[in-house]
Amino acid sequence: MTANLSASPLNALLPIALTMGDPGGVGSEIAAKAWAALRNSGPTFFLIDDPARIAKTSRETAVISDPGEAPAAFASGLPVLALAAEVTATPGLSQQENARPVLESIERAVGFALDGAAAAVVTNPIQKSMLMAAGFAFPGHTEFLGDLTKSAAMPRARERGPVMMLAGPQLRTVPITIHHAVKDAVAMLTPQLIVHTAMVTAQALRDDFAIEQPRIVISGLNPHAGEAGALGVEDEMIIAPAVDELRDIGLDVRGPLPADTLFHEEARATYDAALCMLHDQALIPAKTLAFHYAVNVTLGLPIVRTSPDHGTALDIAGKNIARADSLIAAIRLAADMAQTRRQNL
């Protein structure tokens, strides 16, 4: 169901910018493993980090000063583009003094993508609690990327995100509310929010995933989608009007549908993406079906951004046992999306 996750031709596109993530986590380990897996096939990428730090964990590195140098360096070593300052990190420990380098890595990656020096951005996991303690004003990557790109022109007339998608080989899900307590998330739901999220998703399915006529299902909020109001009125009062409006503008949309019958094999064959009311409604089925291979995608941005669908894994950092499957899938999907978007411009 997702865009082709198989290896893309080496150097077929501009290189992809990979951020450092929290230096106390597994980002550098999985970056090195992703490079080893992709060095002969691509897609080409470069890591924005402290080269001296990376050299301690990966012998095969190539220091570059410009994204354009990455393709030539890629076969011989993981290309690393230096941050402004050295990074001191202890595996398994998220340190507040690294907040600035972590954010600098994201900001520079976004800048390269906006300037046309990078095909896409792939972000390694960050430790949100550490960043927030240092004054970070966003719930996570998705919202921060939306802010960084808010003044940039969209590639064509499109609804602007950011909207979060979990994409795997068998399922794409979109949580309409993300990092909020359940009681707060329910209070946030409006027909307007649902309509906007569905429109961004439909446009991304067309422009970034090459699905000409996207089919979207929308989950209910309450058990049995409210059962005609007997189990809650939100499905009839908030979700159903949004579905009607989306149909009126010509989208292939169904809902609200009971979430407990939305994700089995036969149901998944009838749609291209499922919009869910709550974070866990969307992420539980996505991670159950593709725990090691799901990719976090940000829709509705002027750049392509993906990320592995896991956290910093501080508990195993430094042990060289972290799996790079999700990061590899994120890099491949970013390349596929960038190629599709370029063809659709």
pLDDT tens, position by position, 210-240: 999 999 999 999 999 878 888 889 999 999 9
Same domain, 271 and 308: no
Is the pLDDT score of 322 beyond 90?
Answer: yes
pLDDT of residue 175: 97
Same domain, 136 and 180: no
Same domain, 190 and 244: yes
Same domain, 308 and 220: no
Arithmetic mean of pLDDT over the chain: 92
Same domain, 184 and 83: no
Q: What is the mean pLDDT of the segment spanning 299-314? A: 95
Is the pLDDT score of 245 beyond 60?
Answer: yes
Same domain, 6 and 145: yes
Is the pLDDT score of 6 beyond 70?
Answer: no
Is the pLDDT score of 333 beyond 90?
Answer: yes
Greatest alpha-carbon pair distance for the chain in Å reads: 64
Same domain, 246 and 124: no
pLDDT of residue 12: 56
User: Is residue 110 assigned to a domain?
Assistant: yes
User: Is residue 17 assigned to a domain?
Assistant: yes
Q: How far apart are CA 181 and CA 115, in angstroms?
A: 37
Same domain, 24 and 76: yes
Is the pLDDT score of 270 beyond 80?
Answer: yes
**Long-range CB contacts (within 8 A, 24+) of 144-147:** 144/106, 145/106, 145/110, 145/121, 145/298, 145/301, 145/305, 146/298, 146/301
User: Is residue 34 assigned to a domain?
Assistant: yes
User: Is residue 294 assigned to a domain?
Assistant: no
pLDDT of residue 4: 38
3-state DSSP percent of the chain in helix, strand and coil, to 5: 40, 15, 45
| Residues 110-167: tens digit of each pLDDT | 999 999 999 999 999 999 999 999 999 998 888 999 999 999 988 776 789 999 999 9
Contact present, 223 and 258 (Cβ < 8 Å): yes
Please tell me the total count of domains within the chain. Answer: 2
User: Is residue 44 assigned to a domain?
Assistant: yes
Same domain, 196 and 98: no
Here the CATH number for the domain that contains residue 149 is: 3.40.718.10
User: Is residue 162 assigned to a domain?
Assistant: no
Q: Which domain holds residue 3?
A: 1-154+303-345
User: Is residue 160 assigned to a domain?
Assistant: no
Question: Considering the entire predicted model, what is its pTM?
Answer: 0.92
Same domain, 180 and 319: no
Is the pLDDT score of 70 beyond 50?
Answer: yes
pLDDT of residue 91: 93
Kindly state the percentage of the chain with pLDDT values over 70.
96
325 vs 345, more confident? 325
